[in-house]
Chains A and B, each alone.
Chain A
Amino acid sequence: MLIATALEKRFGAVRALAGLDLAINSGEFFALLGGSGSGKSTLLRVLAGFEAPDAGALTLDGQDLLPVPPWARPINMMFQSYALFPHMNVAENIAYGLKRAGVAGEERRSRIAAVLDLVGLQGLEARKPQQLSGGQKQRVALARSLVMRPRLLLLDEPMAALDAGLRERTGLELRALQRKTGAAFIMVTHDQQEALALADRIAVLEAGRVAQIGPPQEVYARPAKRFVARFLGAANVLEGRMQDGAFESAEAGGVIASGLPADTIAIALRAEQIRLTGADEAPCVTGVLEDAAFRGDDWLLIIRLRGGASLRVMHNEPPPAPGSVVGVAWGVAAVVPLFA
């Protein structure tokens, strides 16, 4: 539905978008994941029309979007700060776009009532934004965008301004709303948990480009680059190279895998897929237990390998004393080869 091709955007010396390609399907919940400076916010602003790209193309259902100003695009945006008009009450905020579109009278009233019902804000029509809680403000912002029935809704860090306790539930509500309205949602976030939990597909952005795109499970399980592996759930990345069919890593202290493609330059290992070896089992590699922290469900162990690299390991039982020499092992399937 939405196709972005080779988008370029410079701010002075900074290349915020560096030849970015992206295709969004209609009706999907898409998450753009990236750290600060990855270009995710710039991309959102380009999609909404607040920034014009220096080069590249952008089409929505075949229509060229670039010459269309923000006010004429069939795309709406929910701002990170919500940008609720402080001098208007909830109903007036929601009515704002409808008025601009010339929707009046009974239809306007019924659409406002319907969207208030949808987000669960009945009875708050006359409140001013200052009189609302954070969660209520978020829903007003959502309602104000949704009442326009956009084909595509952009959400800029929709949960960033909420209390931690509210985020999980709000996220699920957001997805339910997306399913109900059938609009495509593009959510920008720096929180990988949020992106993994809610999105149909995610794209990890790095330096103005898409580093990897796909369903959350796939991107999480099979990261293609060191950056993606580290960014999603802090996987261990061990550098090395293939020699005679074996993956040799100096920082781990020897050969730690085999049978990987010849151009493998590093491997990713998830912390939860590494286990300590018992006395009767040959370890993949050994190291010294540096530190252990109890986390409720499990322990987080930091193990310094012989080659100097440190390894994060999730462990389900009380760990040995810090300073002990331990062996660690993992299944063949846990090894993800990385090529960049």
Chain B
Amino acid sequence: MKPGRFVRAVMLAGFLFLWLPILLLVGFAFSADRIPFQWGGFSLRWFGALATNERLLEAAFLSLRIAAASASLAVLAGGGIAFALARFGPFRGRALFGGLIGAPLVLPEVVIGLSLLLFFVALEGLIGWPAGRGAFTILLAHAGFGAAYVAVVVQARLAEAERSLEEAAMDLGATPFVAFRTIALPLIAPALVAGWLLAFTLSLDDVVIASFVSGPAGTTLPIALFSMLRLGLTPEVNALGALVVLGVVSMLALALWLLGRRQG
């Protein structure tokens, strides 16, 4: 079925709507003007200003560390949970198990953030750990909801890879552990990587949950950006936006190119 002219026009308008603000953000990052989104001639001065903005740099560095650590934890937990759901057959409390891993996908962020904060406060009151809130509690919170996303991605992949592959491996002499290592793990590896990237991005992008569970020592990049944006857009933030967009687009281009090369 060929799409009509109206459909094509809406599609174009939709993509324009999605991309125009982003493209303008990139373009005006190279403007010399002090006011963002005003053209004052080509300049890299705001990238320079960004490079010396200690507060943003520190926050970015902290965010990257939290994102990498929480995504790794999330892959371990979410991958394990997905494997249990896909391969362990019926076990006691399976429905609750599946419901709990799915919950962070549907709960509003403010609810997740508030409930995790209350949990950390209660835990500290009960056992004195974790002492105070900061980077570590953000890491745990992000790992908790990142695991939900990892589990979804890995479960989809495991559902595709039939169970009989692991049985065939066992039939040929592999113990369950060896069958997991040589058959299941290589097959879900792409899903684990995708899940890691997803959890990483979500962590890097989260402001609501992090705001709840962070303390004074836990200013992540989104928390810093949020407080800056409350006052409006600064040229440094504009420059940061351009860097992120260019970085993501070039990563994607690289990935597509690699994929195309492998297939071709």
Please, which residue of chain B has its CB at the minimum distance from the CB of A50?
A: B167
B115 close to A (CB within 8 Å): no
Known: A81-B162, A83-B162, A83-B165. A100 touches B178 (CB 8 A): yes
Q: Given that A71-B175, A81-B162, A83-B162 are known contacts, is A96 also in contact with B167, CB under 8 Å in the complex? A: no
Count of chain A residues near B, Cβ 8 A = 23
Neighbouring A residues of B165 by C-beta, 8 Å: 83, 85-86
* Residues of chain B lying within 8 A (CB to CB) of residue A86: 161, 165, 187
Let me know if B227 is at the binding interface, CB within 8 A: no
A96 and B165 alpha carbons, distance in the complex (Å): 12
Considering only residues 133-161 of chain A, those with a C-beta below 8 Å from chain B are: 144-145, 148
Closest to B172 in A: A97
Contact across chains for B173 and A81 when beta carbons are under 8 A apart: no
B217 to chain A, nearest CB (A): 45
**Complex Cα gap A96–B167 (Å):** 13
- Tell me whether A48 and B172 are in contact in the complex, defined as CB-CB below 8 angstroms, given that A79-B164, A85-B165 are known contacts: no
Q: Which residues of A contact B173 (CB under 8 A)?
A: 71-72, 97, 100-101, 148
**With known contacts A86-B187, A87-B186, A100-B178, A48–B164 Cβ distance under 8 A:** no
B225 / chain A contacts, CB cutoff of 8 Å: none
Considering the complex, give the chain A residue whose CB is closest to the CB of B168: A83
A71/B162 in contact, CB under 8 A = no
**Residues of B contacting A145 with CB < 8 Å?**
171-172
A49 to B169, CA, bound (A): 13
Instruction: Kindly list chain B residues whose C-beta atoms are within 8 Å of the C-beta of A76.
Output: 171-172
Residues of A within 8 A of B170 (CB): 49-50, 69-71
How many angstroms between the C-alpha atoms of A148 and B165 in the bound complex?
17
Question: Which parts of A60-86 form the interface with B (CB within 8 Å)?
Answer: 69-72, 75-77, 79, 81, 83, 85-86
Contact B174 A79 (CB under 8 A): no
Q: Does B183 contact A (CB under 8 A)?
A: yes
**Shortest Cβ distance from A79 into B: residue:** B164
Docked-complex contact A77 and B168, CB < 8 angstroms: yes
Known: A83-B167, A87-B186. A96 touches B162 (CB 8 A): no
- How many angstroms between the C-alpha atoms of A148 and B169 in the bound complex? 12
Complex-state Cα separation, A145 to B168, whole angstroms? 9
With A71-B174, A71-B175, A86-B187 as given contacts, are A96 and B164 in contact (CB-CB < 8 Å)? no
Q: Which residue of A lies closest to B183 (CB)?
A: A85
Among A49, A72, A79, point to the contact of B168 (Cβ < 8 A).
Answer: A79
Q: A72 vs B174: C-alpha distance in the bound complex, in angstroms?
A: 9
How distant is the Cα of A144 from the Cα of B162 in the complex, in angstroms?
Answer: 18
**Interface members, chain B 165-203 (any A CB < 8 Å):** 165, 167-175, 178-179, 182-183, 186-187
Alpha-carbon separation in the docked complex, A72 to B170 (Å): 9
Contact of B174 among A50, A81, A83, A100 (CB under 8 A): A100
Best-surrounded residue of B165, B173, B175 (most CB of chain A within 10 A): B173
Residues of A within 8 A of B182 (CB): 96
- CB pair A71 B171 closer than 8 Å: yes
Interface residues of A in 78-125 (CB under 8 A from B): 79, 81, 83, 85-87, 96-97, 100-101
Nearest-Cβ distance from residue B168 to partner chain A, whole angstroms: 4
Q: Which of A50, A69, A144 contacts B172 (CB 8 A)?
A: A144
Q: Report A-chain residues with C-beta under 8 Å of the C-beta of B169.
A: 85, 96
Q: Looking at B172, B173, B178, B187, which has the most chain A CB atoms within 10 Å of its CB? A: B172
Q: A81-B162, A83-B164, A83-B165 are in contact. Are A48 and B187 (CB under 8 A)?
A: no
Determine how close the nearest CB of chain B comes to the CB of A282; give it in whole angstroms: 59
Q: How far is the CA of A71 from the CA of B171 in the complex (A)?
A: 5
Beyond A85-B183, A87-B186, A87-B187, whether A148 also contacts B172 by CB under 8 A is yes
6 residue pairs of the A-B complex, CB under 8 angstroms, read A71-B179, A75-B171, A79-B168, A83-B164, A85-B183, A87-B186
Given contacts A71-B174, A96-B172, 13 further A-B contacts (CB under 8 A): A49-B170, A69-B175, A71-B173, A76-B172, A77-B167, A79-B164, A83-B162, A83-B167, A85-B183, A87-B187, A96-B182, A100-B178, A148-B173
Nearest 4 CB-CB pairings of A with B: A97-B172, A100-B173, A83-B168, A83-B164
